Amino acid sequence: MKISDKTKEVLLGPLSANNPVIVQVLGICSALAVTVQLKPALVMGIAVTIIVAMSNVIISLLRNTIPMRIRIIVQLVVVAALVTLVSEVLKAFAYDVAMQLSVYIGLIITNCILMGRLEAFAMSNGVWDSFLDGLGNGLGYAIILVIVAFFRELLGSGTLFGLQVIPQWCYEHGYVNNGMMMMPAMALILVGCIIWVHRSINKEEKK
């Protein structure tokens, strides 16, 4: 099967050129809240990816039958159902992470990326494209989360996925973990840095 340019654009665009977090600046709140460590950040990224993709598919299927006036409610119901499902699965199979993420799993319902994609894409596109669009946007979100969490966990706790990375030797010679990395303020600055790097790389393309 040959992948058309449009499909490619729909799937890969959100990863960099049209990234939901660093270009559209959506979903910042949860990006700051769950990125203290890599593991919850990764789980959160996967959860959002699944929910965006699935809800995009469902809304795309229903798009011709949803009355325009109540479409937001319909979208919310679909998203809420999926979020509840994911939340229950996490509680059953990854209880620790679910506890770490606490309310932020539930708050995926209010994540701007979801409503944005449903409104902007799924309501007016086919099922397959909507699925790819959801996947792309979810992954675009997840990538940023993982990058931010990587730096925050490495510099803030000296670990990656909970494993000690910075050797004990460094601590004995006076190295100290950076407490600022544990604060949401630093996550915002890191997101800012990523945007900075991203913009400088893509400067020519924009023009």
Please state the closest distance from residue 41 (CB atom) to other proteins, in A: 21
Q: What share of the chain is helix, strand, coil (3-state, %, to 5)?
A: 75, 0, 20
* Three-state helix/strand/coil letters over 154-169: HHHHCEECCEECCCHH
Nearest to 9 by CA among 127, 136, 116, 115: 136
Q: Which is nearer to other proteins, 44 or 190 (CB)?
A: 190
Q: Which C-beta is closer to other proteins: that of 103 or that of 176?
A: 176
d(CA 144, CA 150): 10
- Contact between 19 and 198 under an 8 Å Cβ cutoff? The reply is yes
Q: Closest separation between CB of residue 159 and other proteins, Å?
A: 17
| Per rule CB under 8 A, count of chain residues that contact other proteins | 8
Does 32 bind other proteins (CB under 8 A)? Our answer is: no
Question: Of 85 and 189, which CB lies nearer to other proteins in the complex structure?
Answer: 189
| Euclidean distance between CA atoms 167 and 35, whole angstroms | 22
Comparison of 120 and 189: residue with beta carbon closer to other proteins: 189
Ranges within 145-204 binding other proteins (CB under 8 A): 174, 176, 178-181, 183, 189
Q: How far is the CB of 179 from other proteins (least distance, A)?
A: 5
Least distance CB 29 / other proteins (angstroms)? 21
Task: State in angstroms the smallest separation of the CB of 175 from other proteins.
Answer: 8
Nearest CA to 117 among 42, 20, 5, 16?
Answer: 20
Retrieve residue 157's tokens: 């706790």
Q: Rank residues 64 and 200 by Cβ distance to other proteins and give the closer one.
A: 200
**Which residues in this chain contact other proteins in the complex, by CB under 8 A?**
174, 176, 178-181, 183, 189
